[in-house]
Amino acid sequence: MKTIICLATTGLVTAGALAATATIAAPPGPAATAGAQVFARSCAMCHTVARGAPSKLGPNLAGVSGRKAGSVPGFRYSPAMSKSGITWKADTLDAFLAKPSAVVPGNRMGFAGIKDTAQRAAVVSYITGLPK
Ligand code: HEC
């Protein structure tokens, strides 16, 4: 929330941030907007969200909601992720992002997790709202 207040102090920056959010297809709503910011800060260096965009270090996340873990064609997942049997939904994403190494031991996502419940909820809301 601090970030939003901070951005809101300069109208131009806010407009820019909102436009950027719109182009990466965030669903409307404050949680989604906050989630887009968390995503930009913590995930975007490794994950693309636009449909059909190439995977980076991590798999493309377009349409991740409802998808089986380890199922983006052509992406080389760890055996741990491929065999996890998880279907990505709000609750499984929330648990995974809290501590990836605990939920999928041996996975290759170089990310410790998001401790803050609100930030995690925001980013989950953002990625589950991504178009297929
Ligand atoms: C340092 C790079 C990196 C960062 C940062 C990162 N990821 Fe990942 N992510 C990966 C990799 C690599 C995998 C595949 C892991 C495997 O195969 O074990 C992955 C897998 C995933 C998956 C499973 C996808 C699937 O197709 O099964 C989800 C969901 C995910 N990441 C979400 C996120 C979110 C949300 C964030 C930010 C909070 C994030 N990641 C941050 C690299 C990263």
User: In the chain, what are the domains?
Assistant: 2-128 (1.10.760.10)
Instruction: Count Cβ atoms below 10 Å from residue 111 Cβ, excluding itself.
Output: 15
Cα(96) to ligand 1 centroid in Å equals 10
* Token pair belonging to 22: 């719109």
Instruction: Report the chain's terminal Cα–Cα distance, integer Å.
Output: 28
> Hunting for tokens 């170089």 — which residue is that?
110
* Residue of 129 and 19 predicted with greater confidence: 129
Q: Is the pLDDT of residue 23 over 90?
A: no
Residue nearest to atom 40 of ligand 1 (CA): 43
Supply φ then ψ for residue 33, to 5 degrees.
Answer: -65, -45
Give the range with max mean pLDDT: 3-12, 30-39, 45-54: 45-54
Q: Which residues line ligand 1 (CB under 6 A)?
A: 42-43, 45-47, 57-59, 64, 69-72, 77-78, 80-81, 88, 93, 97, 107-111, 114, 123, 127
Supply φ then ψ for residue 14, to 5 degrees.
Answer: -60, -45
**pLDDT tens-digit series, residues 45-104:** 999 999 999 999 999 999 999 999 999 999 999 999 999 999 999 999 999 999 999 999
Q: Of 63, 105, 54, 99, give the one whose Cα is nearest residue 83.
A: 105
Q: How far apart are CA 103 and CA 97, in angstroms?
A: 9
Residue nearest to atom 41 of ligand 1 (CA): 43
Which mutation among 45, 47, 83 tests ligand 1's pocket best, with the greatest number of atoms within 8 A of CB? Answer: 47
Helix (H) / strand (E) element for 40: namely helix 30-42
Q: Is the pLDDT of residue 7 over 80?
A: no
